[in-house]
Chain A
Amino acid sequence: MAKHLTPGRIVLYAALLLMAIYYLLPLYVMLSTSVKTLDDIRGGNLIALPQSITLDAWSKAWSSACTGVECGGMKGFFWNSVKMAVPSVLISTLIGAVNGYVVSMWRFRGSDVLFTLLLVGCFIPFQVVLLPMARLLGELGIANTTSGLILVHVIYGLAFTTLFFRNFFVTIPDELVKAARIDGAGFWTIFLRILLPISGPIFMVCVIWQFTQIWNDFLFGVVFAAGESQPITVALNNLVNTSTGVKEYNVDMAAAIIAALPTLFVYMVAGRYFVRGLTAGAVKG
């Protein structure tokens, strides 16, 4: 097809450009505001370029901004979130992989029912589980701890990760597993040596999905974690709502970007696998 700039194309590109600006503008405002001085913010308008660039707001947001009574910045909470998200993502993805393997390759009596129940798990609203979960965490003695939060996220994520892996594994011909069984491979050998090595794309999907969900979660964080163990989303909320005289928009913006960076990073590193993993079957031919 010839790539002439027909009027239709010009309109199309213009529309796309407009939409891109529409979506990028908030990011720009956040970035530019975060490097402005407070005077600059008060004097200029929202989308004006910064007069001079300073990283003071960033360092304050990271290490000395007040989140409620504490004034240690986002630092501690950032690591809280890392300590919560990384194990939650890995554990829920690994268990989901095994679950998906079982419900797709080793169908047993009732495995369809089990899978349907798991699917229902995807649709349970967060609010519904709050009280029972609080009670359970209390009984287990891990209320208000990072471990407790990890447990909640793992359980909640299992429905999704199982679904992802199951849908991936059903595209793999049964004959592959049959061949391995005849070769003498057992349950774990088949999983570890034959299926996992070809599960890269769906692994990426799960990791991205789970990481985004867990890192961005606010409700579970605010309910099941207190004080020292709160995740960064809760801390961000506290930081923005803690007023000590003047409103420091530049610090707020820097803190918000810090809170969003890890998910952005995950998308940049693994994003191209996302669509590929969702659409691709595992084996050709």
Chain B
Amino acid sequence: MAALSINNVCKTYANGTDVLKGIDIAIEDGQFLILVGPSGCGKSTLLNMIAGLDDISSGDIEIGGKRVNDLSPKDRDIAMVFQSYALYPSMSVRKNISFGLEIRKMPQGEIDATVERVAQMLQMTHLLDRKPSQLSGGQRQRVAMGRALARNPSIFLFDEPLSNLDAKLRVEMRTEIKLMHQRLKSTIVYVTHDQIEAMTLGDRIAVMKDGIVQQFGSPQDIYDNPANLFVASFIGSPSMNFIPAQVVESAGVLGVKICDDQGCVILPLPHAQDKMKPWLGREVIFGIRPEQITDARTAYREGLPVMACHIDVIEPTGPDTLVFVSLNNTKVCCRTHPTEAKLPGHSMELVFDVSKAVLFDPTTEQRIA
């Protein structure tokens, strides 16, 4: 049974802005759904509508098979964690956690037990009598999570819960949220603009832009098979390289022509022959991820096309060194082994693993192959 299904949901605000334009998403019980996209694309609006904090203009939202369009937030069996944590400033941590339970008329003994259990789970028993103003950012975050956990809802909603934390804490909390999900097998809808959070946390990712779901799938699927140029550029860091290139034929195989200032090579794309045929002689956008252009030692596979390229800049990151070269007058990022990377100004042999390369239509920006 679908834990959450969103059917053709639209939202138009009173001032006429179309914020959501027909959203379709469904997830199973226990899945971790990520809504990811640039700021302003309507993620929070969608989450607020799932929560019932905002009205839907058209479409349906079902939770556990039940249509909830007309239910108020408190009747939807959801709990939410906000970016600003939204802890009640005048209440102690204990009260913050128990507030929702009291309103739901849970017996006092049960409330105390729940608060105790949640506090222990999140290791914040010692914080229970503090006020939110006496907590650090990370502790407030924990309390906000605890407040949601105490309610034991059928769906957890998170709106950018980590984006107010510093980088180190964010990574720690990310792991904790993932652990919590694995332990509790809860259904989660998680909004973020951070593609790394999206990739690391999600079972299912909906990539959004301008109020439209651009692609909905598993993280690996979205990474390997982006539906369009936007998804390809948004997911992955450093971003996929987009090289304008002509489709040409060589020895009966279609490929793309890649040049630098010293000469050209043709990269055959055997996996995409049929779809490339209509594009013979025309320009496409050739998409290839940085880790698919690398040094011979890292590539470890024979028979891949090789090209000697002039290095413009290198950026050592520790585990690998990013090498920047110019191909078809476009800056291209390649991920190489630190000991294999040459210095800027020198030439270096780069191996192209084209088996996962993709092609986009330059005008519609949709995927060709």
Interface, chain A (partner B; CB < 8 A): 109, 173, 175-176, 178-185, 189, 193-194, 197-198, 282-285
Question: In the complex, are the beta carbons of A184 and B86 less than 8 A apart?
Answer: no
Q: A176 contacts which chain B residues (CB < 8 A)? A: 84, 86, 88-89
Complex Cα spacing A134 to B125, Å: 63
A-binding segment of B30-38, B61-69, B98-106: B98-106
User: In terms of DSSP, what is the predominant structure of the interface of chain A?
Assistant: helix
Complex Cα spacing A178 to B14, Å: 20
Our pick among B14, B80, B90, B99 for the contact of A197 (Cβ within 8 Å) is: B90
Question: In the complex, are the beta carbons of A182 and B89 less than 8 A apart?
Answer: no
Question: In the complex, are the beta carbons of A182 and B73 less than 8 A apart?
Answer: yes
CB distance from A194 to the nearest CB of B (A): 5
Q: Can you list 11 A-B contacts with CB-CB less than 8 angstroms, sorted by A residue number?
A: A173-B86, A179-B88, A181-B74, A182-B51, A183-B100, A194-B90, A197-B90, A282-B89, A283-B89, A285-B132, A285-B133
Complex Cα spacing A185 to B88, Å: 12
Q: B84 contacts which chain A residues (CB < 8 A)? A: 173, 175-176, 285
Question: In the complex, are the beta carbons of B82 and A179 less than 8 A apart?
Answer: yes
Question: In the complex, are the beta carbons of A285 and B140 less than 8 A apart?
Answer: yes
**How many residues of B sit at the interface, in one of the four size bands?**
20 to 34
Complex Cα spacing A4 to B88, Å: 47
Question: In the complex, are the beta carbons of A181 and B53 less than 8 A apart?
Answer: yes
Our pick among B48, B133, B164 for the contact of A284 (Cβ within 8 Å) is: B133
Question: In the complex, are the beta carbons of B88 and A194 less than 8 A apart?
Answer: yes
Q: B82 contacts which chain A residues (CB < 8 A)? A: 175, 178-179
Q: A185 contacts which chain B residues (CB < 8 A)? A: 99, 103
Question: In the complex, are the beta carbons of B137 and A285 less than 8 A apart?
Answer: yes
Question: In the complex, are the beta carbons of A178 and B80 less than 8 A apart?
Answer: yes
CB distance from A72 to the nearest CB of B (A): 47
Q: B132 contacts which chain A residues (CB < 8 A)? A: 285
Question: In the complex, are the beta carbons of A178 and B133 less than 8 A apart?
Answer: no
Our pick among A173, A182, A284, A285 for the contact of B80 (Cβ within 8 Å) is: A182
Closest to A197 in B: B90
CB distance from A110 to the nearest CB of B (A): 11
Closest 4 CB pairs of A and B: A183-B100, A197-B90, A184-B74, A179-B86
Our pick among B48, B99, B104, B151 for the contact of A178 (Cβ within 8 Å) is: B48
Q: B99 contacts which chain A residues (CB < 8 A)? A: 180, 183, 185, 193
Interface, chain B (partner A; CB < 8 A): 14, 48, 51, 53, 72-74, 78-80, 82-90, 99-100, 103-104, 132-133, 137, 140, 147, 151, 164
Question: In the complex, are the beta carbons of A198 and B89 less than 8 A apart?
Answer: yes
Given contacts A181-B53, A181-B73, A182-B80, list 10 more A-B pairs with CB under 8 A: A175-B84, A176-B88, A179-B87, A180-B99, A182-B53, A182-B78, A182-B79, A183-B147, A197-B90, A285-B84
Complex Cα spacing A282 to B53, Å: 23
Question: In the complex, are the beta carbons of A180 and B48 less than 8 A apart?
Answer: no
CB distance from B138 to the nearest CB of A (A): 12
Q: A284 contacts which chain B residues (CB < 8 A)? A: 133
Our pick among A175, A184, A197 for the contact of B103 (Cβ within 8 Å) is: A184
CB distance from B143 to the nearest CB of A (A): 11
Known interface pairs A183-B99, A184-B100; A178-B53 also in contact (CB < 8 Å): yes
Complex Cα spacing A179 to B150, Å: 14
Complex Cα spacing A193 to B140, Å: 20
Closest to B164 in A: A285
Closest to B72 in A: A181
Q: A179 contacts which chain B residues (CB < 8 A)? A: 80, 82, 86-88, 147
Our pick among B14, B88, B140 for the contact of A180 (Cβ within 8 Å) is: B88
Complex Cα spacing A183 to B53, Å: 12
B14, B89, B104 interface centre (most CB from chain A within 10 Å): B89
Question: In the complex, are the beta carbons of A175 and B73 less than 8 A apart?
Answer: no
Complex Cα spacing A198 to B88, Å: 9
Q: A182 contacts which chain B residues (CB < 8 A)? A: 51, 53, 73-74, 78-80, 100
Question: In the complex, are the beta carbons of B103 and A189 less than 8 A apart?
Answer: yes
Question: In the complex, are the beta carbons of A184 and B79 less than 8 A apart?
Answer: no
Complex Cα spacing A182 to B14, Å: 23
Complex Cα spacing A283 to B135, Å: 13
CB distance from B348 to the nearest CB of A (A): 49
Q: A197 contacts which chain B residues (CB < 8 A)? A: 89-90
Complex Cα spacing A193 to B98, Å: 13
CB distance from B88 to the nearest CB of A (A): 5
Q: B73 contacts which chain A residues (CB < 8 A)? A: 178, 181-182
CB distance from B133 to the nearest CB of A (A): 6
Question: In the complex, are the beta carbons of A184 and B89 less than 8 A apart?
Answer: no
Complex Cα spacing A178 to B45, Å: 13
Q: B147 contacts which chain A residues (CB < 8 A)? A: 179, 183
Complex Cα spacing A175 to B100, Å: 15
Q: A184 contacts which chain B residues (CB < 8 A)? A: 74, 100, 103-104
Complex Cα spacing A195 to B346, Å: 65
Closest to B81 in A: A179
Question: In the complex, are the beta carbons of B104 and A198 less than 8 A apart?
Answer: no
Question: In the complex, are the beta carbons of A183 and B74 less than 8 A apart?
Answer: yes
Closest to A194 in B: B88
Q: A283 contacts which chain B residues (CB < 8 A)? A: 89
CB distance from A23 to the nearest CB of B (A): 38
B78, B83, B87 interface centre (most CB from chain A within 10 Å): B87
Closest to A180 in B: B88
CB distance from A277 to the nearest CB of B (A): 15
Question: In the complex, are the beta carbons of B80 and A198 less than 8 A apart?
Answer: no
Q: A183 contacts which chain B residues (CB < 8 A)? A: 74, 99-100, 103, 147, 151
Question: In the complex, are the beta carbons of A198 and B79 less than 8 A apart?
Answer: no
